[in-house]
Amino acid sequence: MASAAGEPKKIIIDTDPGIDDAMAIFLALRSPEVEVIGLTTIYGNVYTTLATRNALHLLEVADRTDIPVAEGSHVTITKGTKLRVADFVHGADGLGNQNFPPPEGKPIDMSATDFLVEQANLYPGKVTVVALGPLTNIALAIQQDPSFVKNIGQIVLLGGAFAVNGNVNPAAEANIFGDPDAADIVFTSGADVLAVGINVTHQVVLTDSDRETLASSNGKFAQYLLKILEVYFNYHHDAYSTKGVYLHDPTAMLAAINPSLITYVEGAVRVQTNGITRGLTLLYNKQKRFAEITEWSNQPSVKVAVTVDAPAVLKLVMKRLMEC
Ligand SMILES: O=c1[nH]cnc2c1ncn2[C@@H]1O[C@H](CO)[C@@H](O)[C@H]1O
């Protein structure tokens, strides 16, 4: 629902589209509780240039070219250029190998980081960033403007594998693995952070039969998504024994739209930035006073999602994406 004042929550979607990003973006555009004030782009599912192109394309599909797109970083926060992109999950074009025509629009003449800082300053405490890719742009904003952590309302991020295996390797989830140094900066920044990890998103599955239900809708978004979902389904059939696909990004988006759909715990999160467990996220629940000072001591608390009302999430996703 809209806030008490009746104003929808302003959100900026930091995104690497991406099939489940496309779902999350459409979901946000169909959600009266939020107003999408911009998209910022990042590498992850695809390289940043393609993420920008896909973000512009998705807004054209949605007839929402009024929403600005700001291009984000092409490299990690440590200037790393050896990026891991998940084209095997989303297709070479990031959108199910559909080879859509290039968008007509262009990104604004401002970096993602500058846009994030500008909007947080413009609407102090009022903007939520929904971060669906590696956290480079957000960490850069934190470094660039010391007041960003105070001015930004909340950072809802899809990332981490809390006490479960990762999806890149047993230790790491893809978004955190993409830039672990940036993730550690975000988690320890003191900002109001809600992390939705794959321990939660793996509970939200869009099944083959849900896909058939989606197909029965003449809605613009449902018909578009059906085309691009094929590759995502194929990947999941190969990689997991699940009969369906995980709704990572839509679940994180709904956690921002309607926080009552999840529960969370609070504690300090640190990210392993090197070695075989690079990208591992580890939550200290602050229940024990350790004898020694640890890397978690005196770190601010963040929120980490632990349960999700999966049927309610799925129902909302289906309903909103099937509307005509
Ligand atoms: O196996 C995988 N490797 C890399 N990325 C993946 C994989 N499965 C899903 N995603 C993508 O990474 C984010 C969630 O971690 C989601 O954006 C999802 O589409």
What's at 285, amino acid-wise?
N
How far does residue 32's CA lie from ligand 1's centre (Å)? 28
Strand pairing partners for 308? 262
CA neighbor of 240 nearest in space, from 276, 210, 190, 206: 206
Mutate to test the pocket of ligand 1, among 88, 89, 238 (most ligand atoms within 8 A of CB): 89
User: Which amino acids are annotated catalytic?
Assistant: 16, 248
- The pLDDT of residue 5: 56
Question: Does the pLDDT at position 3 exceed 90?
Answer: no
Q: Is the ipTM of this complex over 0.90?
A: yes
Q: Beta strands of the chain (E only): which ranges?
A: 9-15, 34-41, 69-70, 127-131, 154-158, 193-196, 205-207, 244-246, 262-271, 281-284, 302-308
Q: Does the beta carbon of 198 sit less than 6 angstroms from any atom of ligand 1?
A: yes
Mean pLDDT value of segment 131-139? 98
How far does residue 233's CA lie from ligand 1's centre (Å)? 12
In this prediction, residue 1 has a pLDDT band, given cuts at 50, 70 and 90, of very low
Q: Does the beta carbon of 199 sit less than 6 angstroms from any atom of ligand 1?
A: no
Question: Does the pLDDT at position 278 exceed 50?
Answer: yes
- The CB density around residue 294, as the number of other CB atoms within 10 Å, is 12
How far is Cα 183 from Cα 271, in angstroms, rounded to an integer? Answer: 7
Q: Does the beta carbon of 36 sit less than 6 angstroms from any atom of ligand 1?
A: no
**Sequence spans of domains, the chain:** 9-322
- The pLDDT of residue 324: 81
- The pLDDT of residue 129: 98
Ligand 1 atom, smallest distance to 90 CA: 19
Interacting residues of 241 by C-beta distance below 8 A, sequence separation 6+: none
Q: Does the beta carbon of 174 sit less than 6 angstroms from any atom of ligand 1?
A: yes
Ligand 1 atom, smallest distance to 201 CA: 14
Superfamily per CATH, domain 9-322:
Ribonucleoside hydrolase-like (3.90.245.10)
Pair 70, 111: CB distance under 8 Å: yes
Nearest CA residue ID for atom 13, ligand 1: 174
Model confidence, pTM:
0.97
